[in-house]
Chain A
Amino acid sequence: MTTLLWLRPWWLVGLVLPIGLLVLVTLPRRPRDVPIGSYRLWAGLGATVEGGRRWRRPDPRLWLTVLALVAAIFALARPVELSEPSGERYTVLVDRSASMGLPVDPSAPAGATRHAVALAALSAWAAERALSLDAPLELEWSASDLDGPLVTRVLPGGASVPPAALARPFARPFATHDAAPPYELHDRAGVLWLTDRGPEPLRATAFFAGGAACPGPIGEDRGRLLVWDGDDQVVEDGPVPSSVLQLDGSLPEFLVELVSVFAAERGWSVRRGDGVADETRARLTVRGPMASNEAPSEALRQLSREALRVGRDGWSGRARDAAPRPSNTSAAPRGGEWLHAEDGRALVRYHSGAIEVDFATLTLAPGTEAAAVASWAQLFDTAAGALPDVVALAERRAAGAARVVGPGSDPTATTLERGGGVDPGGRLHELRGVAREFAPLFGALAAALAAAAIRSRTTSTRFHPLPGRRRRDGPGGENG
């Protein structure tokens, strides 16, 4: 499917000129008065010549004039044929980690965030790049908290790209758990990294926002807040709100025990929340497969001998074949998948404030208890997230100066990832160039045709002046 885009649509207003010309010429008008000495003869013809006003048939040269004018106007309006996908498409990998929400200058907490600075750099680059393009520049966003594909189209021809427009998809708060993208998987041509710091790209182009160190809370411990002052960690007493860890559905006993130990270690309280509305919002909910209406005994009966064996980090378990998902997971926000079955099913998923477990048994291998505990505890921490304003120490450290790093700092030098549509350097570009060059020619042709048409009208009643010789024709000579 193709779409026609006008880069200078205001030129299309000029279409009123040829259309008006056509209408003016063809409109029946009061005929011109022509005094004629032989009026008596014409009057004698009477009804054979008298006629009402009619639409006049335009001269073929007028059609040519109109066509030339229309072509000139179209050329000036710079039409661009768009196809899907468009000419230049980049993937923007957005770092959604907490540090991106920190101000670049800690002395101005309300100032621009690292995310905003990186976005401004990208915006400036996109606007400049669009100047030299014939087709829209497309930015496909990739971030850990995006629910689906998102593409921003930057029109060619130098239209400004306000950073706010680019930032619109990212109005959500920055993640508190690990949201830094896997850069090594996206170090390829046509990918733009939007981050504050990261590894030096080999093929991708990175827009590093940088930023000074930003002291502040970096963690909590048993109701106390850990604060980084820029040099050392300082432990500060609360007020840290008490946290609740809620268990829903059927969970393996070891997991329940592990959750209880974790909560005790963190100073959180544990509660069972099967089918009971929360009086207090839980900081973390660990949800088993029969959270809503399925009895645990029934679930266990469904375990077959061929049930899937799963596991990681020193533990294993059994998952049912095609086990039904917990009823409330479909609407859950997108998060991470911690454990997959061989058939691709997610057996342990997490997102902000919740963990969903889809297996019924859990067995520890002898001697691997510590690994299993550490693995699960890390998952609990990630899913529970941090308290507001708590950012990990690594995130609060200085990120250096803002810069753009890539192959020659030019994303288009080697990183162009073109879609199957228009090649901006190819045929369309040439066509557009030709059209642009021919616009004055079309205009000149229109003027010449119009002049020819006007001249034709005047020559119909123009005669050789007396000093010239012209043979007498028609009736003449002596006595007619």
Chain B
Amino acid sequence: MVELQAPEVHFAPGFMRRIEQFAPRIAAARQRREGAGGAELHGAGLEFEGHRPYRAGDDPRLVDWSLLARDERPFVRILRREASERWAIVVDTSGSMGVGPPGKLQSAAEVALALAAVGVRARASVSLHLTAAGSPTGDGNAGALSSVVMRRVGDLAQGSRLLSSAVARAGADGLAGCVARGVVPEGAGRVIVLGDLWDTAPEELLRLQRRGRELIVGRVFAPLEFEPKELGAGAVRLVDPEGSGGLEVQLTDSSSKRYGQLLEAELEGCARAFARRRVRQIVWRSDAPFEDPARALIGG
């Protein structure tokens, strides 16, 4: 049985206050950006807000052809997303997410809750999913949950409880299994997947991509996965957190360098695969404050 360093999630006191400071600012910035064009997500409907001159890269479907005919100048319609926009956030709770410190699951959970806060402030319906059910929440709900839906700011507490119950476990269902089970609602216009993707191929995640859906992949790594020197010097036995085996290695400069090359190739390969399908991939270290990856993921 592999003993993981940081398998659980604990929100520090003051974390929600940071969320409250972060989310409105990002939501407002996002509104300004998406309201000015560039968003084409699935949703129940878009509200017309006005026009602006056409810029290169705007969706031709948004061009107001009647105005073009009348003024001989291209204008695009500015649409405002309606409250019925749907987001889905999926958090990987497989064993590898328990690696740390700081724990990758902890970091992913913080980012997920921040994104959810941004979503509900943008009047979106945000569904939050764990790839495997966590431990019982202890709030009277006897069963273990794997997802909640949040529509208002007040619903964030449910999301917080769900994430607090998340436990990284070897052998638990990962992202690939989650995709296969069709956990993500078909109608979700924005799908954000948070995990390390060590056990999931890009192709498996790309199955989530749909027309009219924005798929964003967030990859979180522990510092020791970025920097072998964090493992210390000398001999160390590296263990697969999914429990498939162990490997005794002698950490040297050359082995660290070689590992760095492999990691770079891995990340570049994934980035290329995602970029081909216009999927954004964001990578961060688990010791980064959640605001940084959350801002990068949501584009605030």
A463 touches B296 (CB 8 A): no
A31 touches B234 (CB 8 A): yes
Among the stretches A61-69, A127-135, A464-472, the one at the interface with B is: A464-472
A36 touches B280 (CB 8 A): no
A33 touches B246 (CB 8 A): yes
Interface bin, chain A: 35 or more
B196 to A, closest residue via Cβ: A37
Report if B139 contacts A (CB, 8 A): no
A42-B2 Cα distance, complex, nearest whole Å: 17
B247 touches A39 (CB 8 A): yes
A460 touches B230 (CB 8 A): yes
**Contact status of A36 and B225, CB under 8 A, knowing A51-B249, A479-B275:** yes
A338-B230 Cα distance, complex, nearest whole Å: 94
Report if A477 contacts B (CB, 8 A): yes
A36 touches B241 (CB 8 A): yes
Report if A182 contacts B (CB, 8 A): no
Q: Which residues of A contact B229 (CB under 8 A)?
A: 460
Q: Which residues of A contact B275 (CB under 8 A)?
A: 479
**Contact status of A36 and B239, CB under 8 A, knowing A42-B247, A479-B281:** yes
Report if B180 contacts A (CB, 8 A): no
Q: Which residues of B contact A457 (CB under 8 A)?
A: 232
B148, chain A: closest CB distance, angstroms:
22
Report if A322 contacts B (CB, 8 A): no
Q: Which residues of B contact A38 (CB under 8 A)?
A: 198, 221, 225, 259, 263
Digit string of A434-467 for contact with B (CB within 8 Å is 1, else 0)? Answer: 0000000000000000000000010011111111
Q: Which residues of B contact A42 (CB under 8 A)?
A: 238, 247, 249, 259
Report if B110 contacts A (CB, 8 A): yes
The secondary structure that dominates the B interface is: mixed
Report if B29 contacts A (CB, 8 A): no
B226, chain A: closest CB distance, angstroms:
4
A54 touches B235 (CB 8 A): yes
A480 touches B287 (CB 8 A): no
**Contact status of A39 and B248, CB under 8 A, knowing A33-B3, A460-B232:** no
Q: Which residues of A contact B236 (CB under 8 A)?
A: 31-32, 34
B222 to A, closest residue via Cβ: A37
B196, chain A: closest CB distance, angstroms:
5
Which A5-34 residues have a C-beta within 8 angstroms of B? 28, 30-34
Digit string of B263-299 for contact with A (CB within 8 Å is 1, else 0)? Answer: 1101110110011000011111111111011001000
A368-B18 Cα distance, complex, nearest whole Å: 129
A161, chain B: closest CB distance, angstroms:
56
Q: Which residues of A contact B5 (CB under 8 A)?
A: 35
Which B146-161 residues have a C-beta within 8 angstroms of A? none
A461 touches B289 (CB 8 A): no
**Contact status of A51 and B289, CB under 8 A, knowing A35-B2, A475-B264:** no
Q: Which residues of B contact A56 (CB under 8 A)?
A: 234-235
**Contact status of A36 and B266, CB under 8 A, knowing A461-B101, A477-B296, A478-B281:** no
B262 touches A37 (CB 8 A): no
Interface bin, chain B: 35 or more
**Contact status of A461 and B230, CB under 8 A, knowing A33-B237, A33-B239, A42-B249:** yes
Report if A53 contacts B (CB, 8 A): yes
Report if A40 contacts B (CB, 8 A): yes
A478-B224 Cα distance, complex, nearest whole Å: 21
A463 touches B102 (CB 8 A): yes
A472 touches B222 (CB 8 A): no
A35-B103 Cα distance, complex, nearest whole Å: 12
A399, chain B: closest CB distance, angstroms:
80
A292, chain B: closest CB distance, angstroms:
86
Report if B28 contacts A (CB, 8 A): no
A316-B255 Cα distance, complex, nearest whole Å: 107
A35 touches B248 (CB 8 A): no
B238 touches which one: A34, A48, A53 (CB < 8 A)? A34
B273 to A, closest residue via Cβ: A479
A35 touches which one: B3, B232, B268, B283 (CB < 8 A)? B3
Report if A171 contacts B (CB, 8 A): no
Q: Which residues of A contact B246 (CB under 8 A)?
A: 33
B280 touches A479 (CB 8 A): yes
A133, chain B: closest CB distance, angstroms:
51
A479-B202 Cα distance, complex, nearest whole Å: 12
Interface contacts beyond A35-B95, A37-B104, A480-B268: sample of 12 additional A-B pairs, CB < 8 Å, sorted by A: A34-B236, A35-B99, A35-B240, A36-B239, A38-B198, A39-B245, A42-B247, A42-B249, A49-B249, A51-B250, A468-B289, A476-B285
8 cross-chain pairs, A with B, having the tightest CB-CB distances, nearest first: A51-B250, A37-B96, A463-B287, A49-B249, A479-B271, A480-B271, A474-B226, A39-B240
Name 24 A/B residue pairs within 8 A (Cβ), A-sorted.
Answer: A31-B234, A33-B237, A34-B224, A37-B221, A37-B225, A39-B241, A41-B259, A41-B262, A43-B240, A45-B262, A49-B247, A51-B250, A54-B235, A56-B234, A460-B229, A461-B232, A466-B290, A467-B14, A471-B288, A472-B293, A475-B283, A478-B280, A478-B281, A480-B281
